[in-house]
Structure formats: structure tokens, C-alpha cells
Amino acid sequence: MRICVVYDCLYPCTVGGAERWYRNLAERLAGEGHEVTYLTLRQWDRGKAPTISAAARTSHVRAEGEEGARTGSVRVLSAGPRMQLYVGDRRRIVPPLVFGAGVLWHLLRRGRRYDVVHSASFPYFSLLAAGATRRLSHFDLVVDWHEVWSREYWREYLGRAGGALGYRVQLLCARLPQRAFCFSQLHAARLRAEGLRGEVTVLRGQYVAPQETARARGGEAAEQAPGRLLVFAGRLIPEKRVVLAVEAIAAAAPRIPGLRAVFYGEGPERARLLRAIDELGVREVASAPGFAPAEQLDADLARAMCMLLPSRREGYGKVVVEASARGTPSIVVAAEDNAATELIEDGVNGLVVSRAQADAVAEAIVRVHEAGEAMRQSTARWYEQNARALSLESSLEVVLASYAREPATQGRAR
């Protein structure tokens, strides 16, 4: 089949869960013998082709210039110029508009070359472009809804007028004819409530497991007292509530001698994080080294007492799965927009805190510490029981199977 993957970001030019999902999807499709085009904004310098290597096999995706270049069976095309996507912690409006126009132009010219257009729901203008050209070009439209924002969150994000407009655009996208995928029951339910026509398939898996998932207990682990390291990993934006994490660590530290915490990530909240560490007097306890190599993060997750994720908004929460795969429980906080709670079996592979308050999160840290090796073992068992469903491979199999199910292009001469 001929498949066009549409997303405005490309790993490793930008790093995030969606970028990794679409890279893996494109590589797997190419590995299955499909003809794959990846349509994105140009995020590389002209003449400097980004390269993506598959983890499990030798495969690359390259992009060069406006017309793209083919390596293997994946071609990356730019549908717009290089642009700054964010201002602080907020997405700029101009790049999605430019990308949407570029996608519309590309699909008007070349849409008939594709059997399937597989798009992220966000940024919505590219999805609207695909929806507008679907009938004309006779391709099937497959859409991943990583998140479905509530009306209240739209208002918070863009203000009263901008939020109302954003919410209406989301509604319009939800009501396009499509095959829809979500990564949580939370967002699947919201998508149905928004008036989606047809079924919603929930994909639980995004995780590519390393060959060795056993907890590391040698080497660097000896530098820390066993079972006293907390790990935070994520983009430092207000929704992640890193200051709450620091406050909880400060409250828990007197009850857990030798407690240590490390915050991995960059973002607009970094200054607040560093200030909170200083003001709460936990410089001897907490460190914030920024981004870390994957090997370092893996090692720390493997030897940690727990992974701390006090975020109020998660479309999935893959870091919970990554921690569980290493036998490390997670602490998350219940919130209206937090789908990561779906990955926690309370008391088994971590804890769900009901209140976003430092004392409540600190109490959870103490509980995990007191549970000790028993919770680490139950976390490892939980992962073993759910590993197949949580794997990227299981989700990709479902997606690939959906392409072959009663395609709109079936029987059409090419």
C-alpha cells in the first residue's frame, strides 16, 4: 500500500512521544514493504539530512530539500519552511496554519497517489486539509488522537475567545469521517462525546522494550543508598508541576534518610524548578541536570525507588511504562486531564495520589519507600503480565490491520 504519514514534527529534530510514534510507524510500515511518505515541516538545515535509525534493524529515514529523498522505502517531504514551533510553553499559531496549507497543497497535487493518509489530530489544520481532500483523492483517513482537550483546558490555554475557536476546530476535526485511534480510555470517551462518526480504537502500547529490563543493582547504583532515588523525566512545562514535586520531596526528605531526587528535562519551567530547589533548601537532595543520554536515564530508572510524575495533563504517560519495565513503581496524581493514571494499578506498580498537594505526594513517597522490594517485585510482575499489550508492536499490528479493512480505495485502478 501507499501510505502518507502526516505530522509537523520529525524525530530526532524534535523529541517527544508523538515524534517517536510516527518514526516507529513509518519504519515498521516500510519494513512491511509498504511505500511510505512522511510529510512534515522542515526542521533541518538545507543540505543537512536528518537520519533516523531503527532500534531493532538497520533502517534509515532521510530528508533532503523540499522534494525529499528516498532511502529504503521511506521518503520525507517538507510541507513548509523551518519555523519556531513554541513560544515558551505554548504552541505558536502560525506554524500549524502554514503546515495545514502545505498539506492541503500536497494532497491536492498528490493525494491520489496514496491509499491511506495517517495523520495526527494535532495540529488540527493539517487534519482539516486531509479531510477536505479525502473524497477528491479517494484515500482512507486514519487519525491518532493523542489528546482530546476539554473546553475548559482550551480556555485556559488560549483565553476565552481563542479557546472557544480552538475547541470548535477540534469539534470539526472529530466529526470528519475517519478511522480513529486513541491511547487512553479518557480521550477515547471524550472523542466519542465530541461526535465522532464511527468507532474509536484504544491502543495501549507505545513502548519499545530494551533487551534487558531487569533492575540494575551494580556499578553506579552503589553510589546511592538502595531504594532512595526519585526520578522525574519530562518536558518542564507548567502542566508537569515540577514545583509540586520539589515541595513533596522537601516534605518527605526528613522521613527518608538519604533520599535523593533527579529531574531530567528542559523547558520554560526550568528556572522555577531551580529556584524551588534553592528556596526549599533541598540542594543536597535534588539535582536538575537537564536532558540526559538515554543510557543514563535508563540506569537511574532501573535503580530508583520510584518515578515521580505529578503532572496534571498526560495523553498517555509512557514514562510510567518505562519505569515499570525496570521494576520501578510510579507515583502519579489524579487529575481531569491525566490519562497516566490508567497505567497505574494502585498499590501494585505505583500509587495514584488523589490530591495535588505536597503533603499527599510526600506521603505516597514514604509509602513506596516503606513497601520496599515488595512493590518493586509486584511492579515487575505487573509489567510482565501487561508487556504485550503495552508494546509498540501490539499497537502497530492493530494499525496495520486497520489499513486492510474495507479500504475506500479497494478495487480502484491505479
Q: Is 67 a residue whose pLDDT tops 70? A: no
- What does the pLDDT average to over 197-204? 92
Specify the range with the lowest mean pLDDT, choosing from 115-129, 173-187, 207-221, 374-388. Answer: 207-221
The whole-chain average pLDDT of the chain stands at: 88
What CATH number should be reported for the domain whose range is 2-208+392-403? Answer: 3.40.50.2000
- What does the pLDDT average to over 19-41? 89
Q: Is 363 a residue whose pLDDT tops 90? A: yes
Q: Which pLDDT value is given to residue 279?
A: 97
Q: Which pLDDT value is given to residue 144?
A: 98
Distance of CA 11 to the CA centre of its chain: 12
Q: Is 155 a residue whose pLDDT tops 50? A: yes
Dihedrals phi, psi of 334, to nearest 5 degrees: -65, 135
More confident residue, 126 or 215: 126
- What does the pLDDT average to over 302-330? 96
Domain with CATH 3.40.50.2000 in the chain: 2-208+392-403, 219-389
Dihedrals phi, psi of 166, to nearest 5 degrees: -60, -40
Q: Which pLDDT value is given to residue 226?
A: 47
Q: Which pLDDT value is given to residue 197?
A: 86
In the structure grid, which three cell numbers stand for residue 399, read together? 494499525
HEC letters along 45-113:
CCCCCCEEECCCCCCEEECCCCCCCEECCEEEEECCCCCCCEECCEECCHHHHHHHHHHHHHHHHHHHH
Cα→Cα distances 134→41, 104, 227, 284, 399, Å: 21, 10, 54, 58, 19
CA angle 57-59-60, nearest 5°? Answer: 150
Tell me the one-letter amino acid at 287: S
Give strand ranges (E) for 158-258. Answer: 179-182, 200-202, 229-233
**Residue whose C-alpha is closest to residue 333's, from 236, 212, 248:** 248
Distance of CA 189 to the CA centre of its chain: 19
pLDDT confidence band for 211 (50 / 70 / 90): low
Specify the range with the lowest mean pLDDT, choosing from 132-141, 192-201, 204-213. Answer: 204-213
Sign of CA dihedral 203, 178, 408, 77: negative
More confident residue, 312 or 1: 312
Q: Which pLDDT value is given to residue 131?
A: 97
Q: Is 321 a residue whose pLDDT tops 90? A: yes
Tell me the one-letter amino acid at 230: L
pLDDT confidence band for 214 (50 / 70 / 90): very low
Q: Which pLDDT value is given to residue 15?
A: 78
Q: Is 323 a residue whose pLDDT tops 70? A: yes
Specify the range with the lowest mean pLDDT, choosing from 10-19, 74-83, 217-226, 386-395. Answer: 217-226
Q: Which pLDDT value is given to residue 373?
A: 94
pLDDT confidence band for 222 (50 / 70 / 90): very low
Q: Is 52 a residue whose pLDDT tops 60? A: no
Task: Quickly list H helices, 259-311.
Answer: 270-279, 294-303
- SS percent in the chain: helix, strand, coil, step 5: 45, 20, 35
Q: Which pLDDT value is given to residue 44?
A: 83
In the structure grid, which three cell numbers stand for residue 375, read together? 512493590
SS3 308: strand
Helix or strand (DSSP H, E) at 337: strand 337-338
Q: Which pLDDT value is given to residue 13?
A: 83
More confident residue, 355 or 91: 355
Residue holding cell 482537550? 149
SS3 142: strand
CA–CA distance, 342 with 16 (Å, rounded to integer): 20
CATH topology of domain 219-389: Rossmann fold (3.40.50)
Q: Residues 238-290: pLDDT tens digits? A: 999 999 999 999 999 999 999 999 999 999 999 999 999 999 999 999 999 99
More confident residue, 196 or 63: 196
**Residue whose C-alpha is closest to residue 123's, from 86, 153, 74, 155:** 86
**DSSP, res 28:** H
